[in-house]
Amino acid sequence: MKLGTKIALGAIAAVTLAGCGGATAPSNILNPYTGAWSGTWTSATLNQGGTNTFTVFADGSVTGSYVNTNLNLTGNLVGTIDAAGNLNATVGFGASGNYTLKGNVVISAGSLNGTYTTTWQGNDYLTTSTATAASAGP
């Protein structure tokens, strides 16, 4: 084999092997909270509670409803729960104002349990919630 042919074949092999150096991990991590959920929430410091029904989508976005049974209010829940369980959401109650929810959720024994701060009318209230899967997911 001629020297030029050997060099050309060596260069092709080097380029081919360089492309096989390994793959990078995909940046999209499966969100373990994905699915439809339904449950209850309570805030001892606000002295109120209610129910919630919501869906967590694969991208972490959350939509649903949030009911305050003490004040007879139903609001639209919109926000995010990321793959690490960080909750950041708003509940719109119209003229009665908004709740801002910030905290964490975890799955334990098949339930989605949350501990978060509810901010309403400039005050912060410790809130807990528990929800169970309403369906297999979106």
Query: Does the pLDDT at position 10 exceed 50?
Result: no
What pLDDT does 120 receive?
Answer: 94
Q: 5 or 72: which carries more pLDDT confidence?
A: 72
Does 28 fall in a domain? no
- Cα–Cα nearest to 38, from 105, 119, 133: 133
Residue 18 falls within a domain, yes or no?
no
Parallel/antiparallel/unpaired status of strands 123-133 and 111-120? antiparallel
Let me know: does 85 contact 33? Beta carbons within 8 Å.
yes
- The residue-averaged pLDDT of 11-20 equals 40
Residue 5 inside a domain? The answer is no
Residue 4 lies in a domain: no
Task: Tell me if 68 is assigned to some domain.
Answer: yes
> Do the domain assignments include residue 111?
yes
HSE-up of 56 (CA within 13 Å, CB side)?
Answer: 26
pLDDT in tens, 23-62: 444 455 689 999 999 999 999 999 999 999 999 999 999 9
CA dihedral (28, 31, 32, 36) in degrees, to 10, reads -150
Backbone angles phi, psi at 23, to 5 degrees: -100, 150
Number of structural domains (the chain) is 1
Residue 60 belongs to some domain of the structure: yes
pTM metric for this prediction: 0.76
Q: 116 with 43: CB under 8 angstroms?
A: no
Please compute the mean of the pLDDT values over residues 80-105 and round it to a whole number.
Answer: 96
Does residue 3 sit within a domain?
no
Q: In which domain, by residue range, is 76 found?
A: 35-133
The CATH code of the domain that includes 93 is 2.40.128.120
